[in-house]
Structure 1
């Protein structure tokens, strides 16, 4: 379906090209503006905070595109609507007043956009406000200072409000700044990494939340808070050397974790790095990441017929949405447009686009319990030990699989009864012979060292599994040491591939291979425990990258009461590059598992568990 109003073949080579895209994204929403209102109503579904706040969110998230345009010297079309909507929404006497905020209120999230607006574009905005209207705006935003919020990246929202107040000479609250920065300091892990709150995941919120806002602060508050700004820049520079490994040569990024509907916010960090002049990679490298990323997204069917961004990942898909994803939520992706605040003369725009720098084949990130693997035409990640404690929808599929891929994405669970519903790709699933499946959820312990990730997990209280994940060349090897007090069925899946056109299936004892015209996804059993190969096909709309049904190669076996060792090797990528003879080999001797592939060799001592 070709969306109206969006130029999908935009080459995105110049500042003017990006300005055109921002305006098209904003203008596609303009038919849904409500006259004399301060909300935008895009659709009939909503989020847990209700329709009115969801419509206020839609309007507010458009400001992430409006603000860089204004800061860069360009008024967006319908600017008068944005001005009037802000006046109405912050006026307690107006029928469309946005209201008084409650603890953990979604409106506090949206206030960050107004903080940036006041910080970098207060002149073109406030020129249209009288003193009473400025007072209303200040008073409404001031609610963020001391209101109770979740203990995570939300702490940056009131901070951004204070930055805005500072730059437009509104009264500030220094104590609020200190309180919120101190809260976030408690979950700084080192080497540029935070967790998203105490004991929380290390996902895209670290980039599009902590460091995105931190770099804005470092740029805009350097004159009044130089020491903190220096620290924020140093941490961002450290983080950048890891985060660059999340991006493939074609511009795609690894889908992982919650809030995937924010889409191109995945690369918002790099726009903030350019905005702040962070000197960690050449400007051309940063420019290349941002522009390739946006080009990749323009190739995805993410718009509806009116050119409005859908909720979903690569296509409209409410099934994968969190309960806080409303119709306008995807417009948080406009945070990537921060580079439009930079003038044409800035180094970012003057630079020639450069490719990604050369990488080692494997890159380990201990703070995130991740290993990134740079395979030709396939970037993928091994991971362990992350769990979203809020138990958002499909938490296990989004955080707890063994691997995530730019090329094959991952599937989400449609139910636990029936293997085709249970999202078995990149997972070991177990059932008590009743077709009701459980996989890895929380981990008792995790260690990332020596090029592998170890985790211990318990799908039942009397079933303990020690898992090692290790890359060998382009292969992924998994070793599971299971102790079970119950009889179980076990299946272990490789990467999923599209089931259209129908792939060829090669299933036999100890192997399953799914082949399409372009792709092969294969899983091999390397352990003596007998397992047979088979394929499962998931329902439509279960894979984040392709709407058609997904085909997944599996190994299936039965486990008696006792101790078992399961070893598997997984490969996926270009069909023309697959060499089954390169499959690793494994040997078990005296409690030591040795895995060998060519010159690569790893040893795991089972009786000396970490």
Structure 2
């Protein structure tokens, strides 16, 4: 049953259509607002950081929708609640104070939304704050400057806080800015690509993290840091020519990697392209990328009960969650609503929506060890060598399969014993005559060319497998050479299409699409 308070037939053609969608999504959460409480509790499950912080995360992620509304001249629903929650959450003397920040604190992630709020709508917010309340907000956000954080895209969160300070006329720590930018240079790969930390994957965090935040910085700090802003824009322009291949004609994108429950954050990069005025594709092409993507997502059953975003991918599915996903985590998808900060007369909104430009049938990205293949009605990707070193749940399913598809998704295993619970799609699984199955995880070597990806991997220390993934027109061909002294059973599957007509995943497995 679809929720009644989200307009699922919204045509999403105009700025007003998008404004109405965001307002409806924010309104759906309103019943969970509580007086004098700066957190929003949406569910009875939580992430590794606990219910207290997860409820604070929910509130903060709504700001990614509320802030563009404010910046574009529209007051978000329940604006008074947002103001009160921020005042109480940043007041050390209040019972609902969000708290002091500790190393690797999830609150540092959420502070980025406050940095954008201060940058784009600081005058509208701080007009309601006393000098003491402004001081509380600054001191609470300032905690992000020197805390230990993961060495990955997290470095952008304290950077955006400093950007907010700059635009709000609050003291800025220039040394912190330089230090966090310097950290990220260690995993810049070239041609617009980063890895999400040293030796880590090249997934959607490169688009919805590094380049999304980088383009925000490039627009908001161009007057004080022009050289770095020009560099960030150059890198994003290079990245865009690869990233456009992740999107199909119907607006869907390749499901791949962790944090898929953020859903339409897959297109957040294109909203940042429009916001920053990056000249890489025409405004009509960028507009089409954003709005087709959002229309595709509105056609999926992603809302639970009364219009609350569920955890899952194309339908509610906790199997898809990472251990850092709480009930409000999916609202990071609101980052894609950044285009609402653009006025109606902006070239993005004035442009006629255009389809994808003519793209090559296949496109190789050696720095990401990926090859994207475009077919009518289907987009798929070959990949090797990706592994999330933190071993988040279902890492192998999300990173290590041979292929990923915008049309068919992928499955996550429900158990290692027996093929009935295994996720055989786009995978070669092996068992040592005991019905316990394992497949490719890390690769010892990967070589990517125009039409082929080679990888060497070991499911056991004494079993060596060389795999060649080949694009032959519209065909995907795999060749494996196995050297083993063990007696092994093997099983291999194609894409996760289980019936010729409906292509729906079986109910016994967790699926992304």
**Both proteins in one fold, TM over 0.5:** yes
- How many equivalent residue pairs? 513
Alpha-carbon distance between aligned partners in 2 of 1:540 and 1:111, rounded to the nearest angstrom: 39
For residue 184 of structure 1, report the CA deviation from its aligned partner.
0.1
**Is the Cα–Cα contact under 8 Å of residues 90 and 140 in structure 1 kept in the other structure?**
yes
Question: Which region of structure 1 is more displaced relative to structure 2, 289-298 or 411-420?
Answer: 411-420
**1:540 and 2:508 aligned:** yes
Contact 2:421 2:508 in 1 (8 A): no
TM-aligned CA deviation for residue 284 of structure 1: 0.2
1:35 corresponding residue in structure 2: 35
TM-score, length of structure 2 as denominator length: 0.99
Moved over 3 A (4+): 537-541
The whole-number CA distance in structure 1 between the counterparts of 2:49 and 2:112 is: 18
Residue matched to 1:8: 8
SS where residue 189 of structure 2 aligns? strand
Partner Cα distance (1:62, 1:449) in 2: 42
User: What is residue 454 of structure 2 aligned with on the other side?
Assistant: 454
Q: Which protein is bigger by CA-based radius of gyration?
A: 1
Higher RCO (CA-CA < 8 Å; seq separation 6+): 2
CA contact (8 A) 1:463 1:482 kept: yes
- SS of equivalent residue, structure 2 residue 23: helix
Does residue 407 of structure 2 align to residue 439 of structure 1? no
Give the match for residue 130 of structure 1: 130
- The Cα of 1:376 is off from its aligned counterpart by 1.1
**What do residues 117-138 of structure 1 show as CA deviations (whole Å, max 9, x unaligned)?**
0001001100100100000000
TM-score of the pair, normalised by structure 1: 0.83
Residue 83 of structure 2 aligns with which residue? 83
Deviation at 1:451? Answer: 1.6
Is this contact kept in 2: 1:453–1:469, CA < 8 A? yes
Kindly report the root-mean-square deviation, in angstroms, between the aligned alpha carbons of the 2 structures: 1.0
Q: Where does residue 166 of structure 1 map in the other structure?
A: 166
* Secondary structure of the structure 1 residue equivalent to 2:510: coil
Shift of 1:34: 1.3
Secondary structure in 1 matching 2:232: helix
The residue number in structure 2 matching 1:236 is 236
Measure how far apart 1:446 and its partner are. Answer: 0.6
* Contact persistence 1:70–1:341 (CA under 8 A): yes
Aligned counterpart, 1:596: none
- 1:539 is displaced (CA, Å) by 4.3
Alignment of 1:45-194 (within 5 A): 45-194=45-194
- Conserved 8 A contact 1:397-1:411: yes
Question: 2:4, 2:132 → 1: CA distance?
Answer: 40
Structure in which a larger fraction of residues adopt helix: 2
Q: Does the 8 A contact of 1:421 with 1:538 survive in 2?
A: no
Q: Aligned partners of 1:238, 1:450: CA distance in 2, in Å?
A: 18
Displacement, 1:320? 1.5
What's 1:329 paired with?
329
Counterpart of 1:318? 318
Structure 2 unaligned blocks of 5 or more: none
Where in structure 2 are the equivalents of 1:580-595 lying within 5 Å? none
Q: Give 1:4 shift.
A: 2.4
Secondary structure of the structure 2 residue equivalent to 1:438: coil
TM-aligned CA distance change 1:541 to 1:458, over 3 Å? closer
Can you give the 5+ residue segments of structure 1 that lack an aligned partner in the other structure?
Answer: 504-514, 522-536, 546-610
Residues 287-302 of structure 1 aligned to structure 2 (within 5 Å):
287-302=287-302
Q: Using the alignment, how far apart are the partners of 2:450 and 2:65 within structure 1?
A: 43
Q: Deviations over 1:187-235 (max 9, x none)?
A: 0000000000000000000000000000000000000000000000000
Q: CA deviation at 1:434?
A: 0.9
